[in-house]
Amino acid sequence: MFKVFVDGEAGTTGLQINERLANRDDVELLHIDPELRKDAKERQRLINESDVTFLCLPDAASKESAELCANPKTKIIDASTAHRTNPAWAYGLSELSPEFRKAVETNTRIANPGCHASGFILGVYPLIAAGLLKKNADLATYSLTGYSGGGKKMIADYEAEGAQISHPGESPRLFAPRPYALGHHHKHLPEMTLVCGLEKAPIFNPVVGPYYKGMAVSTALFQSSLTKSASAKDVQEILAAHYANTRFVKVLPFEEEPTLDAGSLNPTECNGTNEAHVYVFGKDSSIQVSVIIDNLGKGASGAAIQNMNIALGLDEGIGLV
């Protein structure tokens, strides 16, 4: 029986982790009295009593909680941005390589990847590793996500009465997709750049849509950024080979004329799972890599539990679909 504490269990990711672990017979969930959730001594006690602590907190609070851990056996999995570029922490995207997986298996400090970052890195990292994509590549990435990724406040805004209703002659407040991070300073950019080994960040355009969850991250590949001429099918074959033996990352067959639903991409097709679906589209010199995940699954709580399973030496798929 593993003791697990979720520091920040009232947040979106914390609630999802608790929900996913509640029915497991190999886990004992440690809960903090709501009145003591900001009490450092009580949080310290629970963190050091646990085998695994998930940090589902803002960055500054996550750093403070990580410092409360004195038990060398306690594994900390941080869902915030705070430690994702810290070389002392394992980056929890084990599918990238045996080295990434080994780091999750052996390290007591694991940084859970960001949702946009997961979609981008899963599509780009193998192409860098294969030597096809230049490290100084010019990349443009468009990421459409459901509003749950914005946390409790954004969820409340979108689910308020009338927020998404379109009235004749009026512009509904939240009915249309909304591009954001227009200053090109998104918090996921540092990990996207560092983990892939890129020399410069991609141009990144995240967009929040008027639906609860589901994410499609699409990256354009320009021939000028490749080390040699390659087709969309070549790119698909590299990605398929890279992820051939992974459990949750599935590379779909290449189709010159895609036969997807009405010829379109569905950002919700992985909802309720820990899967990532990787598509490659293109013709001649035009190539696009698109990765679909559940932003609350493989983009957050699902990935966190997968990392916990690996770190504890368990089957990585326990409690996940």
**Residues taking part in catalysis:** 115
Q: Which of 106, 110, 74 is nearest to 92 (CA)?
A: 110
Sorted by sequence, the CB contacts under 8 Å of residue 169 that are 6+ apart come out as none
Gap between the Cα atoms of 144 and 178, Å rounded: 9
Q: DSSP states of 16-69 as a string? A: HHHHHHTT-TTEEEE---GGGTT-HHHHHHHHHH-SEEEE-S-HHHHHHHHHT-
- What is the C-alpha to C-alpha distance for residues 216 and 19, in angstroms, rounded to an integer? 25
Angle at 37 between CA 32 and CA 40, to 5 degrees: 105
Q: How far apart are CA 234 and CA 104, in angstroms?
A: 30
Helix (H, G, I), strand (E, B) or coil at 219: strand
Q: Are 227 and 146 in contact (CB under 8 A)?
A: no
Rounded Cα–Cα distance for residues 125 and 263 (Å):
27
